[in-house]
Structure 1
């Protein structure tokens, strides 16, 4: 459990101070008197290199030697607005977003990793009706399941600075395309602001291993995109995460980008909106998303270590993520509706050598199966040749069947094709002068990180030409 042990003595002034501070903030703790407990004395000395320094406070597994009240507030998430505890994981994009927002606004929070503490994972599941949804954040006595920054702002009464700055360009999306566009815009001596609704890196952030980006035989998605973000910041770009764009309009030659965090102004806009994962649209899918059905192996694969999972799809993403899952799952079952994979030969050639991967071809997904407690149980299939129906049982499932562009909020303003992708000409120009598009949201784009960087360069040249 989230226990706090305070090793001290009644005669110690700093012990009295720490005890009083914890009590004032209604934080439970165990007080262990080192004068009465020889084992406690030995533990304090082992923590402090032979010195008997008190108070020594252990929070979870982290020892603190005579922390002042500010340090306790920081570690335990004590604020004037209430105590903040964030249950999450280092690999979780929304956890990173929430942590960054709290840190940027000087909000103390206690961070508890669900991967390291089984009691924490159990607590999250209890709060979320059996689903392990993170971040789950406690503010005072109330829990919030994956709250966006706007909710955190309201609940914590965080003041927001005025957005009177008119930027040369606002880049919507901090994936590879958006980050690259900003790098080049800044190098042309224009100032840019990047607005990102989730995490820096977009879909690339969710990729465990990238093997086809020039200059790197292999590199993780988070590392590559973080380098891009640092480069953009080095040139002067500003990045704000947790900002969801609601609408875009132009008044008097200036664009106003309305978001959940207020309105921002700029002279040009680059739409690097990215894409989201396509669903199967079969029975029980919606009910089990996050509780047995997932779309990101890097995000949720850790929940299935030494367990069996189903992967639906036959393209690069399905095979790449399936191979990644096989590195720690007991068994990976790949289900493809066609008689051949559409993935690159590089991935197809790897499959036979991976003993814990099982492949089912010509199988159409009919419905997800629940058990008697409405938990995930498996997937019902139909053979596309014989029409025979079978059932596959596993602990969870990952779906990789393509992408949908994130263009709903610009529909009606920006021209889209029948599939929802932004139509462009020349240097990524849209039908609105001063608005450009790049990356997965653009018609004809190739969903690869290397291609996205090129699209970002193209859009930046469009911005440059606009100002000329």
Structure 2
């Protein structure tokens, strides 16, 4: 029984890259369609997503998934650490319910195929069972098991091998520059490290088209730099797990237990390098239009607007840098900043004059995002000198700062009023054995070079902690 999987994406899209890698690593056959090269596919993506141009979009047996996380794909396809599990059954079948309950209780992903609504599946089940329609029939890596008992499933899936659970010297939550650097230094000190990353290796740096202030490089692309860091960490022995969304950390007697959306991991120390996400304006129309003309990542979504007009909101380094990147291939860029002068460094401000397709409005306050009849962004209402007026454009990108990704740590460690992790000494948090590095830590500087230094400090902290334990 073959799956029909079609993936719509683009080469510049980080989440497309993650999704393709996940499918390929799990030997899942799929058809890849580049929306940049296929206008019909691009229109289909917008139709599926109610006018929003969101990639990757997957069609799995005609069922659509918009930018699914790895664990969501695993759950839909029945992928479990290299084992693919499909349960052919029916809702009314007691043994099917028993098998499903046992598998879900043991956090096993399964793909359920209802033989009552799928004649092809019913015929296949009958064929492999020598003419008998026996359910549940479960396949594990295409090996069939006919109405298997719980004991049979336990043995087939190695569920009883709890002694194989690995206790890492350190588990690093976050795969950006800070987390990768921590792993590199930890591995060089002969400490086993595991990186758990919710989305893509590289964090915010990965979606930065060009980095011009990283020592040793006149300029380097974010993806290239982050790929090199990840390669170095893995070469030294670090393990990287993508698509693992942290849910809870619990302190045990001798170690920490980390629960993600799909698994449980054990570590002697923890390094929190969860970074930060883009801050929103919180004005009318913003939430409704995110993905439908309102964006936060030029590298991710800028290609949709080639030869069109865009608005940039913000006046810092990121706003000007990304605005100039977009101006290199769009028709026009208008920068809106509420201050009476840009807060970016003079290096970026001076470069603006070299672009004849960039204009800007200072002392201008965004008031409302306006949608067209089709439900996509068409203009921004702004307030300047006591007057309100609209600025039309095909899309808008917001760069007004970052919010630390630390909400899940509330009650576990001490946070500042704005949610940043409070540390002392070698980046140790209020919980012994737990360290922080990067944008999520109070006092950190949101630069790639600074993040690598944060990772170094955290690695020294965990080394001191582990040394004192022995």
Tell me, yes or no, whether TM beats 0.5.
yes
Give TM-score scaled by structure 2 length.
Answer: 0.81
- Alignment check: 8 A CA contact 1:112 1:120 kept: yes
Distance apart, 1:424 and its partner CA: 0.3
Task: Indicate yes or no: 2:74 matched with 1:153.
Answer: yes
Alpha-carbon separation, structure 1, partners of 2:340 and 2:10: 38
1:375-417: per-residue Cα shift (whole Å, max 9, x none)?
211100001xx21111100000000000000001111111100
Distance apart, 1:130 and its partner CA: 0.9
- Alignment check: 8 A CA contact 2:292 2:375 kept: no
In the alignment, what sits opposite 1:284? 285
Alpha-carbon separation, structure 2, partners of 1:246 and 1:265: 14
In the alignment, what sits opposite 2:276? 275
Alignment of 1:344-355 (within 5 A): 344-355=345-356
Alpha-carbon separation, structure 2, partners of 1:420 and 1:248: 17
Structure 2 residue corresponding to 1:131, chosen from 48, 52, 70: 52
Q: Any runs of at least 4 consecutive aligned residues in structure 1 with deviations exceeding 4 A, and if so which?
A: none
In the alignment, what sits opposite 1:236? 237
Distance apart, 1:325 and its partner CA: 0.5
Alignment of 1:405-416 (within 5 A): 405-416=404-415
Alpha-carbon separation, structure 2, partners of 1:353 and 1:93: 29
Alpha-carbon separation, structure 1, partners of 2:411 and 2:28: 39
Structure 2 residue corresponding to 1:144, chosen from 36, 61, 65: 65
Alpha-carbon separation, structure 1, partners of 2:80 and 2:376: 42
In the alignment, what sits opposite 1:459? 458
Give TM-score scaled by structure 1 length.
Answer: 0.81
Where do 5+ consecutive residues of structure 1 fail to align?
Answer: 1-79
Alignment of 1:109-124 (within 5 A): 109-124=30-45
- Alignment check: 8 A CA contact 2:52 2:376 kept: no
Alignment of 1:35-54 (within 5 A): none
In the alignment, what sits opposite 2:431? 432
In the alignment, what sits opposite 1:165? 166
In the alignment, what sits opposite 1:189? 190
- Alignment check: 8 A CA contact 2:171 2:195 kept: yes
- Alignment check: 8 A CA contact 1:258 1:264 kept: yes
Structure 2 residue corresponding to 1:99, chosen from 16, 20, 23: 20
1:111-147: per-residue Cα shift (whole Å, max 9, x none)?
1111111111011111111111111111112111111
SS of residue paired to 1:418: coil
Alpha-carbon separation, structure 1, partners of 2:66 and 2:189: 41
SS of residue paired to 2:185: helix
Distance apart, 1:81 and its partner CA: 5.3
Distance apart, 1:159 and its partner CA: 2.0
- Alignment check: 8 A CA contact 1:308 1:395 kept: yes
- Alignment check: 8 A CA contact 2:435 2:461 kept: yes
Distance apart, 1:150 and its partner CA: 1.7
Alpha-carbon separation, structure 1, partners of 2:183 and 2:80: 27
Alpha-carbon separation, structure 1, partners of 2:331 and 2:381: 21
1:24-43: per-residue Cα shift (whole Å, max 9, x none)?
xxxxxxxxxxxxxxxxxxxx
SS of residue paired to 2:360: strand
Alpha-carbon separation, structure 1, partners of 2:218 and 2:292: 35
In the alignment, what sits opposite 1:87? 8
Alpha-carbon separation, structure 1, partners of 2:227 and 2:375: 39
- Alignment check: 8 A CA contact 2:426 2:461 kept: yes
Distance apart, 1:374 and its partner CA: 2.4
Alpha-carbon separation, structure 1, partners of 2:206 and 2:379: 28
Task: Indicate yes or no: 2:248 matched with 1:251.
Answer: no
1:330-356: per-residue Cα shift (whole Å, max 9, x none)?
000000000011101100000112100
Distance apart, 1:104 and its partner CA: 2.0
Alignment of 1:368-379 (within 5 A): 368-379=369-380
- Alignment check: 8 A CA contact 2:197 2:242 kept: yes
In the alignment, what sits opposite 2:396? 397
1:289-338: per-residue Cα shift (whole Å, max 9, x none)?
00100000010000000000000000000000000000001000000000
In the alignment, what sits opposite 1:363? 364
SS of residue paired to 1:87: strand
Q: CA RMSD in A?
A: 1.1
In the alignment, what sits opposite 2:420? 421
Where do 5+ consecutive residues of structure 2 fail to align?
Answer: 83-158
- Alignment check: 8 A CA contact 1:81 1:156 kept: no
1:209-241: per-residue Cα shift (whole Å, max 9, x none)?
000000000000000010000000110001111
1:351-379: per-residue Cα shift (whole Å, max 9, x none)?
11210000100000000111233221110
Alpha-carbon separation, structure 2, partners of 1:358 and 1:427: 45
Alpha-carbon separation, structure 1, partners of 2:11 and 2:25: 18
In the alignment, what sits opposite 1:447? 446
Distance apart, 1:428 and its partner CA: 0.6
Alignment of 1:15-54 (within 5 A): none
